[in-house]
Amino acid sequence: MVPLPLPLASRSEPHSPAPRHTEMSPEIRQWAAIEAKSDTTRDDLLRESLATPITPTVRRTIGVTILLKAAVYLIRLRESFVGMTNGGADANRVTQPSATADATDGTAATPTANDRLAAIDIGSNSVRIVVARAVDGGYQVLDEERENTRLAASLAATGHLCPDTMAATIAALRSFVTMAQGYNVANIRAIATSAVRDAANGREFCQRIQEELGLKVDIIPPREEGRLSFLSVARAFDVSDKAVAVADIGGGSTEIVLAAGGVVEEVYATRLGAVRVAEACGLTGVCTAKQIDGAERHIDDVLRRHARKPPLAPAMVYGAGGTFTALAWMMLGREGAGEDATARGYRVNRADLNHLIADLARMTLEERSKVSGLNPKRADIIVAGLMVIDRILKHFGVNEVQVHTGGVRDGLLLTMVESSKTSGRALTATERQEAVERFAERCGTDLPHARQVAWMASKLLEELATQLEPSLGLRVSDKPLIEAAAVLSNVGYLVNYDGHHKHSYHLIINSDLPGFERDDLRVVANVARYHRGSRPKQKHKPFAALGVEDQERVAKLAAILRLALALDRTHQQQVNDVAVKVTKSTVEIAIRATGDAEVDLWAARRKVDLFERVFGRSVEFV
């Protein structure tokens, strides 16, 4: 028997529940070792192990899950079945970049030395791990586990994570670290969301995890949480040709993403988690009509404050998180669905949703815990979670929700797979430019025009930077930023022509374009936002959030971009050269064109105001 590597810290955790796999007997170690081996070695060990009686101790401790896996391994031996499963409806899946079903063609993905990944999500209600193998364009799930630790149980009352739930969460994480080590994962990433983000002792808790387990935990902001959920939905469903909303309901928060054409336009972060709403509105047991009415008003008020003027009207709402999957399974239970039923893609309309809410609200907690399809551990928060779904549908004027069984962990794994392709190296200038153009093309941008504008903006910046006084702060090193802003300046047309420059800002800032540091992406987004319309002002929150130096960069780069855009007003790419001559009072811009560029020059003369304001010189075209 080959033992599984031990966790990084002691297994003992005082006053905490013992999660699955926390204590390993020799028999269980043998089964875990089988899990960690290569296909050939594992199959050999499996034959040997199955010849040994399965003792009651093993059966009680490892439960049905590992026994089901053993059965699947035997099927593989007989039928050359490829992949693993954890017995769930969505297991053994290969997540592809297309929006098609998650089936494989029966051919095995060839493992590499660093193809195994693990993603851990520390949520308000539960902590989960997914172990996966990277394959072309996606990943294949090898194993996943969850523990309901209710980390946010005391957060609303005290503002702190309580010792018991922290201990339970660390015990679960210790088990997950062991599990990941058993699979020899090359990369493990842990993220924490609402509970840790909001708690006064959240960072201290993460430090404790690192000290005890050697596991670094990233506390991600709500916008990133929503982006990961959307990425997961976009890989599972075809959202490329319509406006959609993605709602991710956790225990402590709900993130709502609005997207058009497969591109994120806006992310709303709210404190409408199922645990938080249940506690605030008293919905844990039998719910009175007064409590239901109060909860509706509370949820509606939060949605009005955070999503008052949505930039688009979604055609569909996709739901991620345990509340949505619980909804699907309860509805399937009511329908008497068979064993082959799946929650993935299940649709529920508001009328059926409200009937379910009314039925559950009348039940005691004990009665609710026996409802078919509902995990008893979720019984006290399910009414609150379902009410959040209902009010989101009402707020955005959508009558139906479609359930997605992935979510933040799935999105996290997809980003890890994508990052593994570059092995941590920085993108080249060409790769970064290609990424920008791919994003622009997805948004329907006129690429020949965008490239022409990027070339002229870059040329103007270079010549101005070499001739203007250094105190004006123009830098040739900003060429990649103005080129990206030029290519992306009109991506907002994807959402709406009116105010498209503002939509461009939102699309860029939510894009997570590879090759750009976060601060640089903010500059790019703001430069694109000010390619037309108002000049940069302190009353504009995204601009005001920048540092003084970056505000000056944005104003100057936007002024140059306005001229470059105007010089291809006809979208005919007639200008083939630009030259700049700077004097104390003027900037002379000479152009050479292949045809009649009078319309382009006319447009450029009308766009000099911001340039003359920020550079203190008049502009003359010659």
pLDDT of residue 576: 93
The set of residues, in sequence order, having a beta carbon less than 8 Å from that of 217 and lying 6+ positions away, is 122, 190, 191, 192, 196, 206, 209, 210
Q: Which H or E run includes 145?
A: strand 138-147
Distance CA 10, CA 212 (A): 8
Q: Do the domains 26-220 and 223-415 sit in the same CATH topology, yes or no?
A: yes
Of the candidate ranges 239-243, 375-379, 384-388, the one whose mean pLDDT is the lowest: 239-243
Rg (CA), the chain: 28
- Res 425: pLDDT: 63
Taking residues 561-572, report their average pLDDT.
95
Q: Tally Cβ neighbours within 10 Å of residue 343.
A: 22
Highest mean pLDDT among 112-121, 151-160, 462-471, 610-619 belongs to: 610-619
Measure the N-to-C terminal CA separation of the chain; round to a whole number of Å.
83
Q: How far apart are CA 189 and CA 412, in angstroms?
A: 8
pLDDT band at residue 92, thresholds of 50, 70 and 90? very low
Q: At the top level of CATH, which class does the domain 429-621 belong to?
A: mainly alpha
Which is more confidently placed, 505 or 81?
Answer: 505
**What whole-number distance in Å separates Cα of residue 622 and Cα of residue 610?**
19
**Amino acid symbol at 26:** P
Rounded to an integer, the average pLDDT of 208-215 is 95
Reported as a pLDDT band with limits 50, 70 and 90, residue 40 is very low
CA angle (335, 147, 84) in 5-degree steps: 70
Please give the Cα distance from 603 to 77 (Å, whole number). Answer: 72
CB atoms within 10 A of CB 48: 12
Average pLDDT, whole number, for the chain?
Answer: 82
pLDDT average, residue stretch 534-558: 92
Average pLDDT rounded to a whole number, residues 327-351 = 91
pLDDT, position 398? 96
Please state, as a whole number, how many other Cβ atoms lie within 10 Å of the Cβ of residue 158.
12
pLDDT in tens, 575-584: 999 999 999 8
Domain ranges of the chain: 26-220, 223-415, 429-621
Q: Give the DSSP H or E segment for 94.
A: strand 94-95
Helix (H, G, I), strand (E, B) or coil at 124: coil
Could you tell me if residue 285 is left (phi over 0), alpha (psi between -120 and 50 degrees) or otherwise beta? beta
As a whole number of angstroms, the distance between CA 438 and CA 514 comes to 11
- For 95, the enclosing helix (H) or strand (E) is strand 94-95
**How far, in Å, are 3, 39, 412 from residue 36 at the CA level?**
10, 9, 23
Residue type, position 120, single letter:
I
Indicate if the pLDDT at residue 289 is higher than 90: yes
Residue 324 has pLDDT above 70, yes or no: yes
As a whole number of angstroms, the distance between CA 249 and CA 270 comes to 10
Mean pLDDT of 40-52: 45
The architecture in CATH of the region 26-220 reads 2-Layer Sandwich (3.30)
Which pLDDT value is given to residue 6?
Answer: 34
> What is the DSSP pairing of strand 116-122 with strand 187-192?
parallel
Rounded to whole angstroms, the Cα distance separating 219 from 225 reads 10
Dihedral angle over CA of 599, 603, 605, 610, nearest 10: -170
For the residues 1-11, what does the mean pLDDT come to?
33
* Overall average pLDDT of the 556-565 stretch: 96
pLDDT band at 293 (very low <50, low <70, confident <90, very high): very high
Q: What is the mean pLDDT of residues 116-134?
A: 91
∠ CA 375-377-378, nearest 5°, is 70
In sequence order, what E strands does 506-548 have? none
Q: Which helix (H) or strand (E) holds 266?
A: strand 263-270
H-helix or E-strand spanning residue 478: none
pLDDT at 454 over 60: yes
Dig out the tokens for 115 from the structure. Answer: 């193809």
E strands, 148-260, in order: 187-192, 217-219, 243-249, 254-260
Residue 368: its pLDDT value, please? 95
Determine the Cα–Cα distance for residues 63 and 70; give it in Å rounded to an integer. Answer: 12
pLDDT at 135: 83
User: CA-CA distance, 118 to 413, in Å (whole number)?
Assistant: 7
Q: Quick one: pLDDT at residue 432?
A: 87
| pLDDT 10s digits, 524-533 | 999 999 999 9
Coarse DSSP helix, strand, coil percentages of the chain, rounded to the nearest 5 percent? 50, 15, 35
Q: Is the pLDDT of residue 384 over 50?
A: yes
Q: Summarize the confidence of residues 424-438 as an average pLDDT.
A: 82
**Range list of H helices, 20-162:** 26-36, 39-50, 56-79, 155-158
Helix/strand/coil (H/E/C) assignment for every residue in 349-403: EHHHHHHHHHHHHCCCHHHHCCCCCCCHHHCCCHHHHHHHHHHHHHHHCCCEEEE
User: Which uninterrupted H or E stretch holds 118?
Assistant: strand 116-122
Can you give the pLDDT at residue 567?
A: 95
Q: What is the pLDDT of residue 589?
A: 95
- The per-residue pLDDT for range 60-91, each reduced to its tens digit, is 333 444 444 444 434 433 333 333 333 333 33
Distances (CA, A) of 560 to 18, 291, 534, 589: 62, 57, 15, 12
DSSP 8-class letter at 584: S
Q: Are 204 and 217 in contact (CB under 8 A)?
A: no
Amino acid identity of residue 598, one-letter, is: E
315-321 average pLDDT score: 94
Task: Look at residue 264 in the predicted model and tell me its pLDDT.
Answer: 87
Structure-model confidence comparison of residues 68 and 373, the more confident one:
373
At residue 463's C-alpha, the angle toward residues 462 and 469, to 5°, is: 100
pLDDT attached to residue 370: 94
| pLDDT tens per residue, range 152-178 | 888 888 999 999 999 999 999 999 999
223-415 belongs to CATH 3.30.420.150: yes
Average pLDDT over residues 188-206: 94
Share of the chain above pLDDT 70, in %: 81
28-31 long-range contacts, CB within 8 A, separation 24+: 28/58, 28/61, 28/62, 29/1, 29/3, 29/4, 30/1, 31/58, 31/62, 31/66, 31/70
- The predicted model gives 489-512 an average pLDDT of 86
